[in-house]
Amino acid sequence: MAAASTSPEKLNSCVKTDVFLSHDWGEDGTNHKKVEKINEAIKGLGYVTWFDNERMVGNVREQMANGIENTQCFIAFITKRYHEKVVCGTDRDNCRAEFDYASTKVPTVAVLLDPSMENTNDWKGNVGLTLGTKLYIDLSGDINDEKYLTNQLKSLEKDLTSRGIFPNKLEETTNELKVLDIRKKDNPLAKNTVENQETIPDESKDIDEIKRKAYNLRRNGKWAEAIPLYEDIIKKQTFTLGENHVDTLDTRHWLAACYFNQKDYQKATPIFQDVGEKLTSTLGENHQNTLNTRHMLALCYYNQNDYRKALPIFQDVGEKETFALGENPEHTLNTRYWLAHCYYDQNDYRKAIPIFQDVGEKRTFTLGENHVNTLTTRYWLAACYFNQKDYQKATPIFQDVGEKQTSTLGENHQNTLDTRHMLALCYYDQNDYRKALPIFQDAAEKQTFTLGENHEHTLNTRYWLAHCYYDQNDYRKAIPIFQDAAEKRTFTLSEKHVDTLTTRYWLAHCYYNQNDYRKAIPIFQDVAEKQTFTLGENHEHTLNTRYWLAHCYYDQNDYRKAIPIFQDVGEKRTCTLGENHEDTLNTRYWLASCYYEQNDYQEAILILEDVFRRQTSTFGGNHNDTVRSKELLKAMNHSPYKNGL
């Protein structure tokens, strides 16, 4: 469609415009040039625009007021500077004056030009009050890319069309206005219609007031209080505008967001799903509002651990955002970040790593190396390497991220402490207790101060601190920490929680390694009973605890109690791990040893010969377990008591 005429005479003779463009020029005028290009593109669609280059004749304030009063829609081009002018500027600032006046007169639309302002939670004052609850049009990408600009303007056109604002040539618009005026004057039916319309109560102001209340509640985290207000707005909008209108869908989006932030995904999911489908139909599948809603739908599935549903949505939204916005905007990077998390949480580190790596590099470039989003992305990249046991790659990333978080967030911030905890685990898993121990100790002290001594993060760090002492055979230091952590976990998590039982298991091991079987046995026994109840009798944790309980009896020469436990554990491990598994064969070795110590050589040799044969076949003749079995078998065969002598 040809561009509308822009001659001053025709522009000034036209009473009505379709859109009023409000923007900040920028310090060097570059932002004005950008909006000027967008203005030409909007006119190219057939819309009549109010743009300051073409309208500023005579009294500036009067021209602005007339322009706002006689337009169908006010478009605010959001940048950081524009936001500051509207929120913090004086009454003499034109940006503030026109925005404040327009917010009371006409519908407003936000067009994002500055990617640093993409989070509407950062929009303050009247900008936040008027536009913070609405979805915006994103033009923060490269508008010199004609394909990108055309695609995003389609989104704007659909938004305007949903508001009943249709593109027309200037001459056609002027003629229609004249015809409309004639009909109002000369047509009695039309006159009656107008008169009747005046008796209908205007609910728009009422809705705007409720919106402001709901917005303020939502901004302050009062989700439950905001929900009934949003539900009331939706009823009114559905009746007056229809269920597919962009304003109705926008409100339903924020209702779902309230449920989402309350972790009520059962209610949030179907709303996001339905709104996403309707936005796809009305605005298009590539519109930023559509993509934002589908992103939230994917997050609902993610938070319910339904990665099968979340993953393809994140993937599709990420591809569409890359096409529409570019690969570097935060919208695109955030979606790809969560796509990587889907792979991570399914232990598919091979797919997660290149995405986390790419997003981390791009965020370093766009946000800076110290930005919280950059550091969080790199943290999860390191976590991928850690879970692959690639400590050579994980350690330097955790170290660097931890140092930057200490500098930007502070040494007591939870993110900093979490990263340092993972760094310590890297050292621990490499048996470098000298480096791991002071980090665990320092992190635990800071977590005790910031989170409290009973917080699970604090207890988990202290658990690993105790493990450092345990693995260095310093049971004197390990025991009181394991004991305290176990007591606190019993109180906070329950006595049957897996973390509580694991902590008590290692406490019992400390006593066992000190040959204090009197203390070790009742703990192993109690833990095994609770694990049998919570995890099942065949679970490896249960079998491992019972194995060491049997060892306590064995080391006290109480073979009568040890034999049935070793026998049962051996049979269950044969079933769950396989008859050639190292743990299965090890258990059967000690069963044979019990019979040997009881001089029951026939039973002992029968078991041990089978164990030795399997160890030789599976691990080789030089394996420590194979050599040990060979030596015991040799001792049995040479025992003077073998034949009952």
Q: Give pLDDT tens digits for 551-565.
A: 999 999 999 999 999
Q: Say whether pLDDT at 334 is over 60.
A: yes
Q: For position 267, what pLDDT does the model report?
A: 97
Domain boundary among 434, 451, 468: 451
Q: Say whether pLDDT at 137 is over 80.
A: yes
Q: Is residue 292 part of a domain?
A: yes
Are 290 and 387 members of one domain?
Answer: no
Q: For position 191, what pLDDT does the model report?
A: 38
Q: Is residue 266 part of a domain?
A: yes
Q: For position 637, what pLDDT does the model report?
A: 80
d(CA 401, CA 375): 6
Summarised one tens digit per residue, pLDDT across range 189-210 is 333 333 343 433 445 668 888 8
Amino acid at 265: Y
Q: Quickly state the pLDDT bin for 54 (edges 50, 70, 90).
A: low
Q: Quickly state the pLDDT bin for 168 (edges 50, 70, 90).
A: low
Are 381 and 355 members of one domain?
Answer: yes
Average pLDDT, the chain: 88
Answer with the residue of higher pLDDT: 333 or 175: 333
Are 439 and 375 members of one domain?
Answer: yes
Are 416 and 342 members of one domain?
Answer: yes
List b or e across 499-529, with b for residues whose CB sees 16 or more CB atoms inside 10 angstroms. bbbbbbbbbbbbbbeeeebeebbebbebbbe
Q: Say whether pLDDT at 514 is over 80.
A: yes
8-state DSSP, 78: E
Q: Say whether pLDDT at 176 is over 50.
A: no
Summarised one tens digit per residue, pLDDT across range 605-639 is 999 999 999 999 999 999 999 999 999 998 888 76
Q: For position 412, what pLDDT does the model report?
A: 94
> Whose structure tokens read 């997660």?
352
**SS3 category, 580:** coil
- pTM confidence score: 0.69
Summarised one tens digit per residue, pLDDT across range 567-608 is 999 999 999 999 999 999 999 999 999 999 999 999 999 999
Q: Which of 259-273, 419-433, 627-641 has the lowest mean pLDDT?
A: 627-641
% of the chain beyond a pLDDT of 70: 90
d(CA 552, CA 524): 9
CB of 141 closer than 8 Å to CB of 329: yes
Q: Is residue 62 part of a domain?
A: yes
Q: For position 196, what pLDDT does the model report?
A: 40
d(CA 62, CA 51): 14
Q: Is residue 414 part of a domain?
A: yes
Answer with the residue of higher pLDDT: 9 or 118: 118
Q: Which residue, 293, 285, 358, 294, is CA-closest to 328?
A: 358
Q: Residues 60-81: what's their mean pLDDT?
A: 89
Are 369 and 304 members of one domain?
Answer: no
Q: Is residue 297 part of a domain?
A: yes
Q: Specify the length of the chain in residues.
A: 645
Domain boundary among 163, 191, 217: 163
d(CA 243, CA 259): 20
Please report, for the domain that includes residue 261, its CATH number: 1.25.40.10
CB of 481 closer than 8 Å to CB of 459: no
> Whose structure tokens read 């290149």?
354
Are 304 and 334 members of one domain?
Answer: no
d(CA 114, CA 24): 12
Q: For position 603, what pLDDT does the model report?
A: 93
Are 118 and 152 members of one domain?
Answer: yes
Q: Is residue 86 part of a domain?
A: yes
Domain count, the chain: 3
Q: Residues 36-42: what's their mean pLDDT?
A: 91
Q: For position 15, what pLDDT does the model report?
A: 58
Are 301 and 418 members of one domain?
Answer: no
Domain boundary among 250, 279, 309: 309
Q: For position 610, what pLDDT does the model report?
A: 95
d(CA 157, CA 161): 6
Domain of 91, in residue numbers = 17-163
8-state DSSP, 581: S
Q: Which two tokens stand for residue 3?
A: 């561009």
Q: For position 620, what pLDDT does the model report?
A: 95
Q: Say whether pLDDT at 291 is over 50.
A: yes
8-state DSSP, 65: H
**SS3 category, 46:** coil
d(CA 404, CA 134): 35
Q: Say whether pLDDT at 22 is over 70.
A: yes
Summarised one tens digit per residue, pLDDT across range 375-427 is 999 999 999 999 999 999 999 999 999 999 999 999 999 999 999 999 999 99
464: Cα within 13 Å, side-chain hemisphere: 27
d(CA 280, CA 208): 26
d(CA 49, CA 23): 13
Q: Say whether pLDDT at 46 is over 50.
A: yes
Q: For position 51, what pLDDT does the model report?
A: 87
Q: Which two tokens stand for residue 455?
A: 């917080």
Q: For position 370, what pLDDT does the model report?
A: 92
Q: Is residue 440 part of a domain?
A: yes
Are 413 and 379 members of one domain?
Answer: yes
Are 342 and 438 members of one domain?
Answer: yes
Q: Quickly state the pLDDT bin for 241 (edges 50, 70, 90).
A: confident
Q: Is residue 22 part of a domain?
A: yes
- Which burial class, exposed, middle or buried, applies to 149 when counting CB atoms under 10 A from its CB (0-12, 13-18, 19+)? middle
CB of 367 closer than 8 Å to CB of 330: yes
Report how far apart, in Å, the C-alpha atoms of 204 and of each of 67, 239, 286, 606 are. 21, 12, 29, 90
Q: For position 538, what pLDDT does the model report?
A: 96
Please report, for the domain that includes residue 76, its CATH number: 3.40.50.10140
d(CA 230, CA 253): 10
Q: For position 554, what pLDDT does the model report?
A: 97
Q: Residues 12-31: what's their mean pLDDT?
A: 78
Are 23 and 113 members of one domain?
Answer: yes
Are 225 and 344 members of one domain?
Answer: no
Q: Which of 3-7, 386-390, 547-551 has the lowest mean pLDDT?
A: 3-7
Q: For position 173, what pLDDT does the model report?
A: 37
